[in-house]
Amino acid sequence: MSKVPFEIRPAVSSDAEELLRLRHALWPDDMDAAQEIAAYLASPPENAIVLVAAKLGAGLAGFIEMGLRGYAEGCGPGPIAYIEGWYVDADLRGLGVGLALVRAGEDWAKARGLSEIASDALITNEGSIAAHRALGFTEVERIVCFWRSLS
């Protein structure tokens, strides 16, 4: 597959439909995605950013959502730059889109004086785990989360 030309930039209002498509690809059960995107695009917060990989021509190839957290496993005291969501269309993976998104997220964090970045992946998502490792992330912990109703 040939390299697709793209540019990394902050999300803008005209990206809403494509961003919703990408978010639903990453989080299929997220029923609040459209409202979250609209709220973010209407008034981007200081402590978060959504960056997109815009294909030259039309459409988006992927996105990364960065935020600040007070704590992240394996990190020093906060705030910590945190990858809240990171996705690249399956047919465009391996072409540098994901790397470019993470590097732009790192630049955003460094501009805020931060020195660490953290992320997570589902324990069963071997593709995401491999992508993180390929970019130099070190696995620091594996957890199993539990839930039960109080009713």
Instruction: Tell whether the model's pLDDT for residue 145 goes beyond 90.
Output: no
pTM of the full structure:
0.91
Average the pLDDT over 97-107 and give the result.
97
Topology of 6-134 in CATH? Aminopeptidase (3.40.630)
User: So where are the chain's domains?
Assistant: 6-134
At 37, the pLDDT band (50, 70, 90 cuts) reads very high
In our burial notation (b when 16+ CB lie closer than 10 A, e otherwise), range 56-88 reads eeebbbbbbbbbbeeebeebeeebbbbbebbbb
